[in-house]
Structure 1
Amino acid sequence: MTRLSRVVARLGLRYPGGPALEEERHATWLELFFDLVFVLALSGVTARLTDDQPAAGEIGAAIGIYLLVQWAWVGQAYFDTRFDADDTLHRLITLVATAGAGIIALGVERAPHGVLLPVGYLVVRGALLLMYLRVAASDRSAREVAAVYEIGFGTGWLLWFGSLALPEGTRPVLWIVALAIEMATPWLGRRWLNRHPVHTTHLPERLGQFIIILLGAELASLREAVPLSQPPGRALAAAGIAILVPIAIWWIYTTFVTSGLPVRRLGNGQAYGYLHSPAGASTLFIGWGLGQLVRSIAEGHHTVPLTLRLVYGGSLVGWMLVGTGLQWFTVGHLEPRRQLISAVGVPGMAVLTATITDPELLLGLTAALLTGYAALVSPQITRLTQRL
């Protein structure tokens, strides 16, 4: 027994062993509770964009904070899919991480001002590092995985801690470096992580649940855009059209996830997870764009600002491209029909959002195009599943 193992045993931290890969697994109630706090954090990301013409720096900051929030969640998801023991100690440590996520949610809108965001991230990551330490000390076969994350995420944790000593204006520099190190960690450690595959049903389900959270944020953006007292009919009509967009996203994504395609080449799950970063960001900022369009229509505006069109259109195009990329990754190729759908749909969406400035026309046409895209792509996924 190593010195670390003896210390862990003495402290009562021994890891009792995690779930077997062949077991049928779904998200636990604790994981779903953990998700709830991230709903608050994600709503704070788009709340930073207070009008329909945010500066480039504001957009960049919102994207960066989204990645931070998402990566905080993803780190826990990958641990749980491999090692969730679901014992009392694991639950207590996860609840500490949940409290840290709550602190992140409180600090998202004001960052980099204040210490809530970095302190919350330190708590979330510190809890995860303790979980990996517990696994490394008790399960010899899992030490390679634990070492990859302890080194990479531990380095990021130290940079986050060091940022507290810097002036508020310069902290984001260290945050960006720390986040880059953490995001690169699974790729740099893929040689060792490949020996420890993730659970083929649990991980796709968890990443899918994060997309559902983001779709909920889209709906919240629409709700906030409609005036509370005596909403004009055009606002209600616009919201009714806008809701077709998250419905189309949900339709395509759930068809894909429930098809079983993600398990074909999942492996260590890193490529699949990386693709969900732009997918999630696109989903979140589509919601912000929809809210701004509905608000613009409710207030009687006749022109959509260029910045809003760029963010909204770029997010729609990004989501369509990532969806195509996910299908290519899981199958290894794209059938000619699927290539044709993307070759027409993606440029078509880009042209619409780049050229149309009337808010009602832009909303109606983009909702119609994405709905039609979903009506073509979803049956194609179903047919592909039946043939494989």
Structure 2
Amino acid sequence: MKRTILQTTRLRQDSEGDTDRRATWLELFYDLIFVAAIGELAHSLSSHLNFPGLVDFIAFFVPIWWCWIGATFYATRFDNDSVSDRLSIFIQMAIVAAMAVNVHSGLQAAATNFAFCYAAFRGLMVLQYLNAGYCVPVARPLTQRFAVGFGLSVSLWALSIFVPSPWRFVLWGVGLIIDFGTPLIAGQLVTKLPPSVTHIPERVGLFTIIVLGEAIIAVVQGLSKLNLGFISIISAVIGLGLAFSLWWLYFNTADGSPIQAMRQGKKGIGLTWLYIHLPLVMSITAAGAAIQHLIAKGLTEVPTEMERWVFCGATALSLCCLAGIHWLTRTLGTLKFRTILSAYRLGSAVFLLIVAISGQSLSGFMLVVLVAAACGVQVVLDLLTSLWRSHPPLAQ
């Protein structure tokens, strides 16, 4: 039966034609507000590339990412493009815009406003799940579990508005633990109503594209503040090459096998794959902010210890996350092959940590070169591995 924007919430099922579900125009429009939010976070970190700035960045990034994840997983099961869904999306976008405005003020100044926004966003999600459970009886056990878990987290975030620091942030942390833990304790309810094998990998990939785009914007913005010269132009090309390498490593092997494993009852594989994406997208954003800061500061200058550690450490964390994702991606081949592929990533990550430890005298330019080279080597290794798998050597 043809869907209209007036019909009530229903459960999306593969048998109803969602076996190859793709992102809708509304979801792509929805992502734009998160483009703005991630851009504000990256700009704030680039302007305050120090320990307090890094703490603010992490404290704001995690809840914003979780808002996007929550909306995405609700949509993959229950979105039907109804009027109520469209209005909910609009309200969510307004809330995320308010969250983005507050990230520049820092954790101490903006904590109350940010907590209110997060509680409002997640509270709306709880209402949506309650409505979904009412309209779709078969989904009620799962939606009730989500409503209780997420509702408890909302209560803690709302309570934090009235609690002074540092207890306010303790409530934030406990609330996030409950948020992240609720799908884990949902048991087989998650596997009985699994997310789409095609929709979720595409949506998660699109968020990865968002943060890679912010890295490219960071390079351009950093370059715009300099007089163009040989070093600055070469550095910009290398910076773009770094973003391109991370894109290559992620999307060259992206697929839905971890979500398929969830559908087969292996919930831990799918959720581990999903949660690994948080440090991945956060570290890519941080690396982009760091390179913008280094370019704007002047690439002939020697970076401070904090600047060096954020840039090298964020890129190393990205590679570690890619190692975990590739190890979980079964379509890449045997466990032995996936282990070798992951070891490549971890090897470059170790190299970058060594650079962070021993690179006190390196200029910003040399630091960018070494970090980009560590990622570029991974692309070369992937190409050689693909060539070897396509044309294996003849047995002697």
Which residue, 35, 53, 59 being the options, matches 1:58?
Answer: 53
CA shift, 1:307, in A, is 1.0
Query: What is residue 184 of structure 2 aligned with on the other side?
Result: 187
Deviations 1:266-301 (A, max 9, x none): 435322211111111111111112112222335x41
Query: What is residue 328 of structure 1 aligned with on the other side?
Result: 327
After the TM superposition, which residues 160-171 of structure 1 pair with which residues of structure 2 at under 5 Å, given as runs?
A: 160-167=157-164, 170-171=167-168
Deviations 1:209-265 (A, max 9, x none): 1111111111122122124474444223211211111100111111111x5544552
* Contact 1:320/1:346 (<8 A) preserved: yes
Q: Which moved more, 1:260-269 or 1:20-29?
A: 260-269
Query: What is residue 128 of structure 2 aligned with on the other side?
Result: 131
Query: What is residue 354 of structure 1 aligned with on the other side?
Result: 357
Query: What is residue 43 of structure 1 aligned with on the other side?
Result: 39
Which residue, 176, 190, 205 being the options, matches 2:202?
Answer: 205
* Contact 1:285/1:312 (<8 A) preserved: yes
Alpha-carbon distance in structure 2 between the residues aligned to 1:89 and 1:255: 37
Q: Which amino acid aligns with 1:33?
A: F
After the TM superposition, which residues 207-286 of structure 1 pair with which residues of structure 2 at under 5 Å, given as runs?
A: 207-228=204-225, 230-257=227-254, 261-267=257-263, 268=267, 269-286=270-287
Deviations 1:50-94 (A, max 9, x none): 557512x43223112111110111111111112212222111112
Deviations 1:165-218 (A, max 9, x none): 234665322222211211111112233212221100100000111111111111
Q: Which moved more, 1:267-276 or 1:304-313?
A: 267-276
After the TM superposition, which residues 4-153 of structure 1 pair with which residues of structure 2 at under 5 Å, given as runs?
A: 14-20=8-14, 22-49=18-45, 51=47, 54-55=50-51, 57-110=52-105, 111-114=107-110, 115-153=112-150
Number of paired residues? 372
* Contact 2:258/2:329 (<8 A) preserved: yes
- Closer, same or farther in 2 for the Cα pair 1:122/1:150, shift >3 Å? same
Alpha-carbon distance in structure 2 between the residues aligned to 1:296 and 1:178: 38
Q: Which moved more, 1:369-378 or 1:155-164?
A: 369-378
Alpha-carbon distance in structure 1 between the residues aligned to 2:225 and 2:282: 28
Q: Which amino acid aligns with 1:34?
A: Y
- Closer, same or farther in 2 for the Cα pair 1:13/1:129, shift >3 Å? farther
* Contact 2:46/2:292 (<8 A) preserved: no
Q: Which moved more, 1:113-122 or 1:31-40?
A: 113-122
* Contact 1:156/1:182 (<8 A) preserved: yes
Q: Which amino acid aligns with 2:345?
A: S
Q: Which moved more, 1:37-46 or 1:196-205?
A: 37-46
Q: Which moved more, 1:140-149 or 1:117-126?
A: 117-126
Deviations 1:338-357 (A, max 9, x none): 25523532322322333222
Q: Which amino acid aligns with 1:63?
A: I
TM-score (norm: length of structure 2): 0.85
Alpha-carbon distance in structure 1 between the residues aligned to 2:237 and 2:24: 34
Q: Which amino acid aligns with 1:42?
A: I
Q: Which moved more, 1:259-268 or 1:307-316?
A: 259-268
SS for the counterpart of 1:32 is helix
SS for the counterpart of 1:86 is coil
TM-score (norm: length of structure 1): 0.87
* Contact 2:322/2:342 (<8 A) preserved: no
Alpha-carbon distance in structure 1 between the residues aligned to 2:285 and 2:387: 26
Alpha-carbon distance in structure 1 between the residues aligned to 2:121 and 2:41: 18
- Structure 1's unaligned 5+ residue stretches are 1-11
Which residue, 378, 382, 385 being the options, matches 1:377?
Answer: 382
Q: Which amino acid aligns with 1:36?
A: L
- Closer, same or farther in 2 for the Cα pair 1:344/1:161, shift >3 Å? closer
Alpha-carbon distance in structure 2 between the residues aligned to 1:49 and 1:138: 43
* Contact 1:76/1:128 (<8 A) preserved: yes
Alpha-carbon distance in structure 2 between the residues aligned to 1:186 and 1:89: 25
CA shift, 1:333, in A, is 2.2
Let me know the Cα RMSD of the aligned residues.
2.7
- Closer, same or farther in 2 for the Cα pair 1:340/1:175, shift >3 Å? closer
CA shift, 1:380, in A, is 4.0
Alpha-carbon distance in structure 1 between the residues aligned to 2:363 and 2:187: 48
Alpha-carbon distance in structure 2 between the residues aligned to 1:239 and 1:380: 29
* Contact 2:195/2:259 (<8 A) preserved: no
Q: Which moved more, 1:190-199 or 1:126-135?
A: 190-199
Q: Which amino acid aligns with 1:321?
A: C
Q: Percent identity?
A: 24
CA shift, 1:164, in A, is 1.9
Query: What is residue 288 of structure 1 aligned with on the other side?
Result: 289
Alpha-carbon distance in structure 2 between the residues aligned to 1:382 and 1:195: 40
Alpha-carbon distance in structure 2 between the residues aligned to 1:226 and 1:342: 29
Q: Which amino acid aligns with 1:348?
A: F
Query: What is residue 157 of structure 1 aligned with on the other side?
Result: 154
* Contact 2:45/2:53 (<8 A) preserved: yes
